[in-house]
Amino acid sequence: MNFIRKIVKPKSIEDKTFYFELKNLLNFSPKQISKYKKAFTHRSVHMTDSQGNPLNYERLEFLGDSILGSVIASYLYKKVPSGSEGYLTQMRSKIVSREHLNELGKDLELIRFVKSNIDKNTVGDNIHGNIFEALVGAIYLDKGYNFAQKFIYENVILPYIDIEKLEGKITSYKGLIIEWCQKQKKKYKFETYEDSGNETIKHFSVKVSIDGEQIAKGRATSKKKAEEQAAKRVYFAFQNEISAI
């Protein structure tokens, strides 16, 4: 007996609006709308299924991250036949970097779909990349690998990936400075301390010294951001020497 698979269309007005906005975004008709709703549900909502399992985007984010990585790896393997394992790994890391994924999520305006009990303006930039990965995971579960691959090609590879530009893109100034110092046998030190001042939001400051001399400072709301800011300033201070390596 042959069975015809039917798309389950939403019944409520809210679900209908979500369905058609999602369809325009994806360029195909989603079947299981619940998977996409889960992809845009923040943990602050505290939703669970009948077994008590959390209903939020975090597990879908994990799945989408793996699928995105495999699609990008396959693309690079075919696109750059001369690329070594190290080169391909580095290029993939640049494409799926948190910064890049956040940009993708913002460009697609995915935040408009998010259901959260926290003000969306206070959850941080990473939510944009997180829900992008969760969306890829939802597509995979709903329509399969080929649809997820097509979505990634249309929304990541075709509009954003330029091999030549990516080769020169710096994804971590701190990593670059450390690598340069190690090659040049220079001693480096990243000194981090809390520096909130009179502000309610916690800040961190970083001092970077090379061979005992303080070169630059950085200040931000996280240690990582402060380190990158300071390292970036070190990079521009020694740009000619670093570029010559």
Break the chain into its structural domains and give their ranges: 13-167, 173-243
The yes-or-no answer on residue 65 being catalytic is: yes
Query: Which among 133-137, 199-203, 205-209 has the top mean pLDDT?
Result: 133-137
What is the secondary structure of 87-142 as a DSSP string?
Answer: HHHHHHHHHT-HHHHHHHHHHTTGGGG-B-SS-GGGS-THHHHHHHHHHHHHHHHH
**Cα 134 to Cα 65: distance, rounded to the nearest angstrom:** 8
CATH class of residue range 13-167: mainly alpha
**pLDDT, tens digit, 9 for 90 and up, residues 216-238:** 999 988 888 889 899 989 988 88
Active-site residue, selected from the candidate residues 65, 142, 227, 228: 65
Q: Mean per-residue pLDDT for 126-142?
A: 96
pLDDT of amino acid 3: 43
Active-site residue, selected from the candidate residues 14, 15, 49, 133: 133
**pLDDT, tens digit, 9 for 90 and up, residues 84-112:** 888 888 889 888 988 889 999 999 999 99
**Which one has a higher pLDDT value, 194 or 213?**
213
Q: Provide the residue type at 63 as one letter.
A: L
Per-residue confidence band for 198, with pLDDT thresholds at 50, 70 and 90: low
What is the separation, in whole angstroms, between the first and last Cα of the chain? Answer: 68
pLDDT for 148 beyond 80: yes
pLDDT for 7 beyond 70: no
Confirm or reject CATH 3.30.70.890 for domain 173-243, answering yes or no. Answer: no
pLDDT for 1 beyond 70: no
Three-state DSSP class for residue 219: strand
**Cα 160 to Cα 145: distance, rounded to the nearest angstrom:** 21
Q: Mean per-residue pLDDT for 135-140?
A: 98
The yes-or-no answer on residue 142 being catalytic is: no
In this structure, are residues 222 and 205 in contact, taking their beta carbons and an 8 Å threshold?
no
Q: Give CA separation, 46 vs 20, 42, 88, in Å.
A: 26, 8, 39
